[in-house]
A and B are shown apart, each in its own frame.
Chain A
Amino acid sequence: MERQKNIFVSGIILWCIYLEKIKEDVIILGGGMAGLRAAVAAAEYNKKISVGVVSKLYPLRSHSVSAEGGTSAVLNPKDSFDLHAYDTIKGSDYLADQDGVEEFVRLVPEQIYTTDHWGCPWSRNPDGTISQRDFGALSFPRATFAADKTGFHVMQTLFSRALKYDNIHFYNEYFATSMFLDGGRFNSLTTINLRTGDYTIFQGKSIVFAAGGAGRLYQFSTYAHSVSGDGDAIAYRAGIPLKDMEFIQFHPTGLVPSGILITEGARADGGYLLNGEKKRFMQAYAPNKLEKASRDVVSRAIMWEIEAGRGAKGEYGDMEYVYLDLRHMADILDERLPMITEIAKKFNGIDAHTELIPVHPATHYTMGGIDSNVKTTTDFSGIYAAGENACVSIHGANRLGSNSTNECLALGNVAGVSAAKYAMEHDIPDLVVENVNNEEKRIWDDLLKRDGGENVAKIREDLRNNMDKNVGIFRDADGLNRSLKNIKEYKERYQKISIQDKSSTFNMELEWALEVGFMLDLAEIITIGAIMRTESRGAHYRKDYPNRDDENFLKHTIATYTKDGPKITYKPVVITKWQPTVRTY
Chain B
Amino acid sequence: MTDEYEFEIKRKDESGKVYYSTYKVPKDKISTVLEGLLYIKENIDQSLSFRYSCRMEICGSCGMEIDGKPRMACSTIVEDLKKDRIRIEPLKHYKVIRDLVVDIDPFFEKYREVKPYIIRDDDGKYDKELPQTPEQFHEYANFAMCIKCGLCMAACPIEGSDPQYLGPAPLAAAWRYIADNRDKGAKYRVEVVDGEEGTSRCHFAGECTEVCPKGVDPSFAIQKLRRTALKIELASIFGGR
Residues on A lying within 8 angstroms of B by beta carbon are 57-58, 60-63, 65-66, 110, 112-114, 116-119, 121-124, 126-130, 149, 152-153, 156, 160-161, 163-164, 195, 224-226, 258, 260-261, 339, 343, 346-347, 455, 457-458, 461, 499-501, 503-509
Contact = CB atoms under 8 A, between A and B. Distances in A.
Interface stretch (B58-66, B223-231, B232-240): B58-66
B123 A117 contact: yes
Interface stretch (B39-47, B154-162, B189-197): B39-47
Contacts of A112: 129
A376 B123 CA distance: 26
Nearest to A156: B144
16 contacts: A65-B58, A66-B56, A116-B182, A118-B117, A119-B177, A119-B180, A121-B140, A124-B133, A127-B131, A129-B131, A260-B56, A457-B42, A500-B46, A503-B13, A507-B49, A508-B50
Q: Which secondary structure dominates chain B's binding surface?
A: loop
A164 B140 CA distance: 21
B133 A505 contact: no
B55 A128 contact: no
Given A58-B104, A60-B147, 20 more contacts: A58-B108, A66-B59, A114-B126, A117-B120, A119-B177, A121-B137, A124-B132, A126-B134, A128-B131, A128-B136, A156-B144, A160-B117, A224-B54, A225-B54, A258-B31, A347-B32, A347-B77, A457-B42, A506-B99, A509-B47
A144 to B, nearest CB: 10
A118 B130 CA distance: 10
Given A127-B133, A224-B55, A260-B56, A117 B46 contact: no
B206 interface: no
Contact of A457 (B41, B116, B131): B41
Contacts of B32: 347
Contacts of B123: 117
Interface in B47-87: 47, 49-61, 75, 77
A347 B53 contact: no
B28 to A, nearest CB: 9
A121 B42 contact: no
A226 B98 contact: no
Contact size range, B: 35 or more
A347 B56 CA distance: 8
Contacts of A58: 61, 104, 108
A226 B46 contact: no
B14 interface: yes
Interface of B: 13-14, 31-32, 41-43, 46-47, 49-61, 75, 77, 97-99, 101, 104, 108, 111-112, 116-118, 120, 123, 126-134, 136-137, 140-141, 144-148, 177, 180, 182-183
Contacts of A62: 53, 59
A60 B14 contact: no
Contacts of A124: 132-134, 137
B46 A65 contact: no
B59 A224 contact: yes
A510 to B, nearest CB: 10
A119 B143 CA distance: 13
Contacts of B31: 258, 347
A65 to B, nearest CB: 5
Contact of A60 (B59, B97, B131, B141): B59
B97 A505 contact: yes
Contacts of B41: 457, 508-509
Of listed A117, A226, A501, A509, residue having the most chain B CB within 10 A:
A117
Given A117-B118, A506-B98, A61 B46 contact: no
Nearest to B125: A117
A500 B40 CA distance: 13
A57 B54 contact: no
A116 B129 CA distance: 6
